[in-house]
Amino acid sequence: MASPTLQPTVDVRRASDRFATDISWLRSRHSFSFSEHFDPNNTHHGLLLVNNDDVVTAGQGFETHPHQDMEIVTWVLRGSLVHQDSMGHSGVIYPGLAQRMSAGTGILHSEKNDAYRLQGAESNHEPVHFIQMWVVPDESRIKPGYEQLELPDEMLRGKLTTVASGMERDADATAIRIKNKYAALHVARLNENDTVQIPDAPFTHLFVARGSVDLEEAGQLSEGDAVRLTATGGQRIRALSPEAEVLIWEMHATVKGW
């Protein structure tokens, strides 16, 4: 981790400019270098290495695959996602249920849009739309772990709510815990003209998950747009659409050597 001398910047990244993976069962938009998409100048912002906007068709998904030394947070916007891992955890993730998986020394897991099979149904036509985010842990080779937490709509409506955090100040907050004491994820569901404020931190990452908003110093942002803020905070976000949802990472360190 490192906290160099920083120059204030507000860097807008439009949805249409993101790396894209489009195959028969998956539409994925990558904010940073991911898989075969690599740009040495776009590997992370602060502690955030992955911010994937994924849509998976019914009955499909990611087969069992490994992860190591990463804190993985999943936030579903529509539909449901079935998680299974080599530690024996399994469950269905849906809107309002935050999930954290600590890969640590190594873990295998799968993620599929097949919850209907668990319910005894023969088919389902609804895709699942979710955001998956990866941040580096404080320490490598930690014991793998898993946590999920349901946050009712009233907790998220009209205000910025901490959904995942490793920061000491959030020890008593209703949030899943990540293994990085310099990072926190906040979510807000906004009605038209609702406002929230960007946290003041060396690094923040705003992602518009749904609808459209206006950000001071940046203007209008649409679904899928992102803003990387460095050494600046306090800007107001105002919802421009009846249903808007924003995800904001607050980070007080960055990754050195990536």
Q: Between these two residues, 119 and 164, which has the higher pLDDT value? A: 164
With a cut of 70, say whether residue 120 has pLDDT above it: no
Return the CATH number at 186: 2.60.120.10
pLDDT in tens, 76-96: 999 999 999 999 999 999 999
Whether residue 116 has pLDDT greater than 90: no
What's the token pair of residue 185? 């994820």
State residue 169 phi and psi, 5-degree precision: -65, -20
* Residue 139 belongs to some domain of the structure: yes
| Total domain count, the chain | 1
Query: Is 61 inside a domain boundary?
Result: yes
- Asked if residue 91 belongs to a domain, the reply is yes
> In this predicted structure, what is the pLDDT of residue 1?
54
In a domain, 215, yes or no: yes
Quickly state the pLDDT bin for 122 (edges 50, 70, 90).
Answer: low
Q: Is residue 256 part of a domain?
A: no
Domain that holds residue 65: 9-251
Q: Contacts from 11-19 at CB under 8 Å and sequence distance 24+?
A: 11/227, 11/228, 11/229, 11/230, 12/218, 12/221, 12/225, 12/226, 12/227, 13/225, 13/226, 13/227, 13/228, 14/224, 14/225, 15/222, 15/223, 15/224, 15/225, 15/226, 16/224, 18/53, 18/224
Per-residue model confidence as pLDDT tens digits over 130-144? 999 999 999 999 999
Residue 3 lies in a domain: no
Q: What percent of the chain has pLDDT over 70?
A: 95
Read off the pLDDT of residues 91-112 as tens digits, 9 standing for 90 and up: 999 999 999 999 999 999 999 9
Q: Does residue 2 form part of some domain? A: no
pLDDT of residue 103: 97
pTM recorded for the entire structure: 0.95
pLDDT of res. 177: 97
